[in-house]
Chains A and B, each alone.
Chain A
Amino acid sequence: MHNTVALILACACVTYLTRIGGHVILSRFGEIHHRAKAALSAVPTAILTALVAPSIFTNGSAEALAILVAGLVALRASLMMSVAAGLATVVVLRALLA
């Protein structure tokens, strides 16, 4: 029981370290190189793409098409609309393909 609590708290500590660590390390440097800036500016695109990529290929065609629809809609409309369009695609196609 106590071991489990200690383990949970240890997991919480390392998780917090990952969340504050990047900022703490980076703020040690004053002016950062333009390449480092470019890399940081690409973090959301790079990480989120890496996060999503497998879900295009590890599910069915309904899910892959839904990702495509959500991406295209997001070019023109709001995020909410994009998610709604992707969701509608996945629900309809799953029902049709099932």
Chain B
Amino acid sequence: MSEISRFAEISDGVKDAAPVLVAVAPFSAVFGAVAIEQGLSFQEMLLACLTIYAVASQYVMVELLGQGVPAWSVVLSVFAINFRHVLYSAAIGRSMGNFSGPQKALAFFFLVDPQYAASEARAARSGLRPTYYFAYAATVYVTWIVTSSLGALFGSLIENVERYGVDFILPLYFTGLVVGFHKRPSFLPVLVVSGVVSLAVYFTIGTPWHITLGGLAGLVVAAVLSRPESDELGQLEQKNA
């Protein structure tokens, strides 16, 4: 890859991550603060952020730790909350033709929700290359570590972020991304079924199962509506390769 296109890949990765940073920062800062409050040491908080890198499940882990729940059930809860990543991994792995084995192994460590969504969008637009992927990952990861540390150190200073709508950036960001996929086959049926099932599960079984079950329902719809002669996917793959 030439120096110029490498630079473009890096700058695109950082640029695409920018709106996410504003959303990630309060979550991670609050996590840092909560972790300390629940009795974790600063080093343990930092270790969790460095090695797990999945904020929702970390909240649950810290919460359960505080309640003195057995270790195996804490680990199981974290696994359940993060289970949706299995689908991300299967889906985005197909666009990682340009990645070496070790690059893939490392890339999957960074596969958080926005990383997945941005990578899918990138793969559909211009193909997914490691430089872009890791530039995006580094931007979000470093922000995440820095802001959670700041939250742990200055937790008591965090004021209500609702006034600026910061707490609502992630849902908006994901909405924008979903709409960006509106040209994919069966977009509308998948959208409707996933949304309805997610809501039904959310209000009955409860979170986080609405994500996995709502998502799976949408996948079933896509599979059922799929036709062998529609070659759109094949073309999409060629474009990504």
Contact = CB atoms under 8 A, between A and B. Distances in A.
A15 B54 contact: yes
Nearest to B236: A41
A96 interface: no
Interface string A54-98: 110111000100110011011100011011001100110010000
B222 A50 contact: no
B190 A71 contact: no
Contacts of A57: 199
Interface of A is mostly: helix
A41 to B, nearest CB: 6
A52 B89 contact: no
A70 B169 CA distance: 10
10 contacts: A8-B51, A22-B86, A39-B222, A50-B215, A53-B196, A54-B198, A70-B179, A73-B176, A82-B175, A87-B169
Interface in A1-15: 1, 3-12, 14-15
Interface of A: 1, 3-12, 14-27, 34-55, 57-59, 63, 66-67, 70-71, 73-75, 79-80, 82-83, 86-87, 90-91, 94
A49 B214 contact: yes
Given A9-B51, A15-B53, A35-B224, 20 more contacts: A5-B47, A8-B61, A11-B78, A16-B109, A18-B79, A19-B109, A22-B93, A34-B230, A37-B233, A39-B219, A43-B91, A43-B219, A45-B194, A50-B217, A54-B207, A54-B210, A71-B179, A74-B176, A79-B19, A82-B176
Interface in B45-82: 47-48, 51-54, 57-58, 61, 65, 71, 74-75, 78-79, 82
Closest 4 CB pairs of A and B: A46-B218, A50-B214, A23-B93, A22-B90
B6 interface: no
Nearest to A40: B91
Contacts of A14: 75, 78-79, 82
B202 interface: yes
Nearest to B54: A15
Contacts of A27: 93
A47 B213 CA distance: 9
A12 to B, nearest CB: 4
A3 B72 CA distance: 12
Interface stretch (B24-32, B151-159, B160-168): B160-168
Interface magnitude class on chain B: 35 or more
A42 B184 contact: yes
Contact of B197 (A3, A50, A51): A50
Contacts of B176: 70-71, 73-74, 79, 82-83, 86
Contacts of B74: 7, 11
A22 B206 CA distance: 24
A43 B87 contact: yes
Contact of B175 (A1, A26, A70): A70
Contact of A51 (B113, B165, B182, B216): B113
B239 interface: no
Interface string B220-241: 1111111110100100100000
